[in-house]
Copies of this chain bind each other. A is one copy, B any other.
Amino acid sequence: MHLQNDLLIRAARGENTERTPVWIMRQAGRILKEYREVRQSAGSFIDLVKNPELVTEVTLQPVDILGVDAAIIFSDILVIPEAMGLPYEMVESKGPVFPKTIQTYEDVKALRIATENELDYVFQAIRLVKKELNGRVPLIGFAGAPWTLFCYMIEGKGSKDFSKARKMLIQDSGLSKDLLDIITDSTIFYLRAQIDAGANLVQIFDSWAGVLSGEQYETLILPYVQRICREVKGAPITVFAKGNPGVRAALGKTQCDVVGLDWTMSITESRILVGPDKTLQGNMDPAMLYGSFDEIKKATKAMLKEFGPRRHIANLGHGVYPDTDPDKVKCFIDAVKEFSS
């Protein structure tokens, strides 16, 4: 289907655009009262994720309400471990918890590569969203990066430094490689199927990249990310290695199209490290949206100036905080549109 607004895709491919495209990580979520209403009617968080009709509703909300240049399918990165045979629970005000974790070779052997069967609800939702969007804006698909999923599958929950996962990486490189391989295979299937279902761009979220040094990440983890970038075709790919400034130069050499920056990364330095051939995405401090409207406009203008008009997709440097005023989010989005035109 022809996209009426394809700014995101053209920016991702490095083509000229009339203005900078903008979307917001976690734009479909708790900042919107319209989301909270759907969430309440859905039952649990996981019930919502598995309901294609409700997923479609919350995925479209920010397009209508906030005016972003892309929708991102509402889901969770942990649907992949679940599809591999390791289910998770979402515990209110605590986050995800895995009742069973990966500790031994037998645990890894008991996993399967994710297939259509376990994830059909995601692809159904993507097709529904595409139909409802009717070409207004592109749809972003996504997956967790192999390292981040590895962290959760070993540790079983969030952690400050994922020392158990890092212990496994150092103590049992055989098990680690096998686990990272089967996660990577699952992710390649998953992203390909999202693109087949209609996703126009896919993003790989490496939320816990920052617990590794740049060198560790480059040596032990980046090869899996590279394999995904190489083997997933048909849509631009964004890699967001949050918290790991040391890997930016290496990311510039992968086959991804867009490199995500968090708010702690200097824009100018990132451009030098990543090189001229990738689009950069980001990276306003999400806490900046706690500022006044004037402060937000000023910060957005400064950000746009530093990125320049080409090869940039405007976003925050991390997911928007749940208690952010939606009008402040809209202020940021409108400021991008105004100041980059």
Residues of A within 8 A of B (CB): 158, 160-161, 163, 166-167, 169-171, 210-216, 243-246, 263-266, 285-288, 290-291, 295, 318, 321
Which residues of B have CB within 8 Å of A213?
A: 263-266, 285
What number of copies of this chain does the assembly contain? 2
Distance, CA A245 to CA B247, complexed state (A): 13
Distance, CA A213 to CA B288, complexed state (A): 12
Q: Given that A246-B245, A285-B213, A318-B161 are known contacts, is A170 also in contact with B290, CB under 8 Å in the complex?
A: yes
Distance, CA A212 to CA B285, complexed state (A): 9
What residue of chain B has the Cβ atom nearest to residue A209's Cβ?
B264
Distance, CA A135 to CA B162, complexed state (A): 39
B264–A166 CB distance below 8 A:
no
B246–A170 CB distance below 8 A:
no
A186 to chain B, nearest CB (A): 25
**What are the 6 closest A-B residue pairs judged by CB atoms, nearest first?**
A166-B287, A167-B290, A213-B264, A170-B290, A170-B291, A163-B321
Q: Which residue, A161, A170, A171, A212, has most C-beta atoms of chain B within 10 A?
A: A170
Question: Pick the contact of A291 from B160, B171, B215, B263 — CB < 8 Å?
Answer: B171
13 more A-B residue pairs beyond the given contacts A171-B291, A210-B210, with a C-beta to C-beta distance below 8 A: A161-B318, A163-B286, A163-B321, A166-B287, A166-B290, A167-B287, A170-B290, A170-B295, A171-B290, A210-B264, A213-B263, A213-B265, A214-B266
Q: Which residue, A210, A263, A291, has most C-beta atoms of chain B within 10 A?
A: A263
Which residues of B have CB within 8 Å of A211?
A: 264
Which residues of B have CB within 8 Å of A295?
A: 170
Q: Given that A160-B158, A167-B290, A286-B163 are known contacts, is A214 also in contact with B264, CB under 8 Å in the complex?
A: yes
What residue of chain B has the Cβ atom nearest to residue A210's Cβ?
B264
A264–B287 CB distance below 8 A:
no
Distance, CA A210 to CA B211, complexed state (A): 12
B215–A266 CB distance below 8 A:
yes
Which residues of B have CB within 8 Å of A169?
A: 287
A163–B287 CB distance below 8 A:
yes
